[in-house]
Structure 1
Amino acid sequence: MNPGLPAGWTIERVRALSGDPTAAALSTDRLVVLEVAAQDDYETLRPDVLLAFHELCLVRDGGEWFMGQLDDDGSVICWGSYGSELAEAIRGL
């Protein structure tokens, strides 16, 4: 199964590269925001892929991968972009 991952990617490949055997694709039907430090505000993201690595997440919005944290209520607060390549974003975990 390829839950919206880029071509050539599977959840097994994500797990292998990240070293996290529990990495999982989560539903994008949740609040996901990007912290905008300069404005002390948040921008709402509309992800098409959300990958969880324990409490850390990678979220793809507009072809760009953002890193964030999964909160207890299921929402995700992202703090920065890690580029357009999933492999590079995973290495940033």
Structure 2
Amino acid sequence: MADERLPAGWTLEEIRDVSGDREAVALTTDRVVTGSWQDERLRPEIVLGFHGLCLVKAVGDDDWYMGSLNDDGSVLCWSAYGDLREALRGL
């Protein structure tokens, strides 16, 4: 789909290699994303799925947010990483 994006300079194969998840996928950004530390929603620019976990990059934000992918497709994030490689290794 047109709204499934990968981080600049990364391929899906590289994301899978660093994360260790051979089934990692880019997901659509058409979903509700919130942080456990705030009531505000994040506006996702990129969403990467790793079974029940996600990494989300919000529009206008350099951090990567880790969270859980809920049955309804929404994401509840609980931590942030300043670097994608570090976030992938934290899965």
Structure 1 position 4, deviation (Å):
3.5
In the other structure, the counterpart of 1:52 is 49
* 1:53-88 superposed Cα distances (whole Å, 9 cap, x missing partner): 0000000011210000000000000011111x2101
Query: Does 1:42 find its partner at 2:39?
Result: yes
Q: Work out which of the two has the higher radius of gyration on C-alpha atoms and give 1 or 2.
A: 1
Structure 1 position 42, deviation (Å):
2.4
Structure 2: gaps spanning 5 or more residues: none
In the other structure, the counterpart of 1:3 is 5
Please tell me whether the aligned partners of residues 47 and 56 of structure 2 are also in contact (alpha carbons under 8 angstroms).
yes
Structure 1 position 3, deviation (Å):
2.1
Q: Percent identity?
A: 52
Give the paired residue count. 86
Segments ≥4 residues shifted beyond 4 Å: none
Counterpart of 2:44 in structure 1: which amino acid?
Answer: P
Structure 1: gaps spanning 5 or more residues: none
Query: Does 1:92 find its partner at 2:86?
Result: no
When normalised by structure 1's length, the TM-score is 0.86
When normalised by structure 2's length, the TM-score is 0.88
